[in-house]
Amino acid sequence: MSEEEPTPGSVRPGGRTARTRAAVLAATFDELGEGGYGELTMEKIAQRSGVHLATVYRRWGSVERIICELMIDKSADIALPDTGSLRADLLGLASGIGVFYAAPRNRRVMEAVVAAAVRQPYAAEMLRDFFRDRRREAAVLVRRAIERGEVPADTDTDAVIAALGAPFYYRLLISRGPIDQDLAETTAAAAYEAARAGVFRHPAADAGER
Amino acid sequence: MSEEEPTPGSVRPGGRTARTRAAVLAATFDELGEGGYGELTMEKIAQRSGVHLATVYRRWGSVERIICELMIDKSADIALPDTGSLRADLLGLASGIGVFYAAPRNRRVMEAVVAAAVRQPYAAEMLRDFFRDRRREAAVLVRRAIERGEVPADTDTDAVIAALGAPFYYRLLISRGPIDQDLAETTAAAAYEAARAGVFRHPAADAGER
């Protein structure tokens, strides 16, 4: 599966690049299925992917950069529901996150990114920006709920989505227990009840009423 | 500040051990105030503390073990309130956590422990056990609220405390934003409203009523 020295014109550069990327990400994901982040090396990734070590270094530079790209790639699998009710939408999203992290490999990818972020500023930035973008996308669930009058109009949509996500990362990184449907249900219900009660209204608007 | 070769009988062994420990933890905390976990070494800790490098290695073995001990030491500063109302107790606890993590050094200690836990099983165990014990202590807030009839009798006390803590670790490790009083107030109110609404009732008890 070497991608070195293709016959000129026989392979589109974009196609080869995409295949190299897919092979490296798949190999990294497989390695994480067998061992933790601590055992992961560029050599193992190169060997498993069939991509030359020099190519892997040139393109990614470090295990951490591959891990970051893998997280972005994998997280795209979590869908945003549109059921017509906030309660069901939040439960759908929470269940999606729950199913995602029920897979040990996905847990390890996220753990590895968080650990990388502690040591590498670019990983910290990537992590922060990626989650900010994901929350922005998911905020549509709350905006629709505002339009339907299910939650106060001045609800901080980002805060609701952050509240929905937080318990999964607490379970994953701090209490280190299983991520299951129970957690998804409790988390979704907690975010819903708090949003309904007006807990996530923008502080400024809230202060104006005092 | 060398702690080698004391005159026999002039220093109580317990006293010397305690002083060595205090010097090493203080030096580690100071180092984290100046740089991140990535820059921390046993050599820097030994130099700053005035404790011999060999002693530091013999007693702790790794930077990670010192960091774990430091976390346990520092977190003891967060007090458990007893105001007579769950809402105020949760706000008091959340404010304590908020003030704690408003200090950049405390954030770095926690980040370092989480990163260590990804690579070192003993750090993962230590982290999990420490937070389990802290939640057990804090559960008294919820038990008192059950006795006062503020929340359902079958409320999962651990789940309430985990819900109160989770947003701080999400902010610290994932969204990587400031930890402030706004977050403490929102978090406390969210946990309170969800607990009042019965979100944290034990699943078994809940299932029995379906």
Cβ–Cβ contact B197 with A under 8 A:
yes
Q: Given CA atoms B184, B185, B188, B194 in this order, what sign does their dihedral have?
A: negative
Partner-chain residue, chosen from A117, A182, A199, that has the shortest CB–CB distance to B203: A182
Counting the structural domains of chain B, the total is 2
Pick B107 or B210 by higher pLDDT: B107
Residues 6+ apart with CB under 8 A from B41: B63
Cβ–Cβ contact B128 with A under 8 A:
yes
Domain match, A20 and A80 both: no
Domain match, A53 and A86 both: no
Query: Is A208 within the bounds of a domain?
Result: no
pLDDT tens digits for range A136-187: 999 999 999 999 999 999 999 999 999 999 999 999 999 999 999 999 999 9
**Binned average pLDDT, 10 residues per bin, chain A of 210 residues:** 47 76 95 86 96 96 93 88 97 97 93 91 93 96 98 98 98 96 97 98 60
| Å between A132 CA and nearest CA of chain B | 7
Structure tokens at A203: 């502080």
Measure CA B85 to chain center.
24
- Return d(Cα A60, Cα B205) in angstroms, integer: 51
**pLDDT value, residue B36:** 79
Among residues A61, A30, A58, the alpha carbon closest in space to that of A44 is found at A30
Domain match, A45 and A86 both: no
Domain match, B105 and B193 both: yes
Q: Report the share of chain B in percent with pLDDT over 70.
A: 90
Which residue, chain included where needed, has tokens 């007579």?
B84
Residue A47: how many CB atoms within 10 A of its CB?
14
Query: Is B92 within the bounds of a domain?
Result: yes
CATH of residue B166's domain is: 1.10.357.10
Q: Given CA atoms A138, A141, A144, A150 in this order, what sign does their dihedral have?
A: negative
Q: Report ipTM for this prediction.
A: 0.88
Domain match, A180 and A84 both: yes
For residue B40, give the chain A residue with the closest CA: A119
Among residues A17, A56, A21, A54, the alpha carbon closest in space to that of A40 is found at A56
Q: Which amino acid makes up residue B161?
A: I
- Return d(Cα A199, Cα A191) in angstroms, integer: 9
Domain match, A113 and A194 both: yes
CATH of residue A36's domain is: 1.10.10.60
Is residue A164 classed exposed, middle or buried when 0-12, 13-18 and 19+ CB atoms within 10 A define those classes?
buried
pLDDT tens digits for range B45-91: 999 999 999 999 999 999 999 999 999 998 888 889 999 999 999 99
Domain match, B91 and B28 both: no
Domain match, A195 and A177 both: yes
* Helix, strand, coil distribution of chain B in percent, nearest 5: 75, 0, 25
B194 contacts B200 by C-beta, under 8 angstroms: yes
Q: Between A and B, how many residue pairs show a Cβ–Cβ distance under 8 A?
A: 126
Contact state of A190 with B189 under an 8 Å Cβ cutoff: no
Domain match, A51 and A139 both: no
Residue A154 with chain B: CB contacts under 8 Å: none
- Return d(Cα B120, Cα B114) in angstroms, integer: 10
B78 contacts B97 by C-beta, under 8 angstroms: yes
Half-sphere exposure of A103 (CA within 13 A, CB side): 17
Among residues A117, A123, A32, A118, the alpha carbon closest in space to that of A69 is found at A123
Domain match, A121 and A51 both: no
How would you classify residue A12: left for phi > 0, otherwise alpha for psi between -120 and 50, otherwise beta?
Answer: beta
Domain match, A17 and A92 both: no
Counting DSSP H helices and E strands in chain B, the numbers are 10, 0
Residue A187: domain span: 71-201
| Å between B6 CA and nearest CA of chain A | 39
Cβ–Cβ contact B29 with A under 8 A:
no
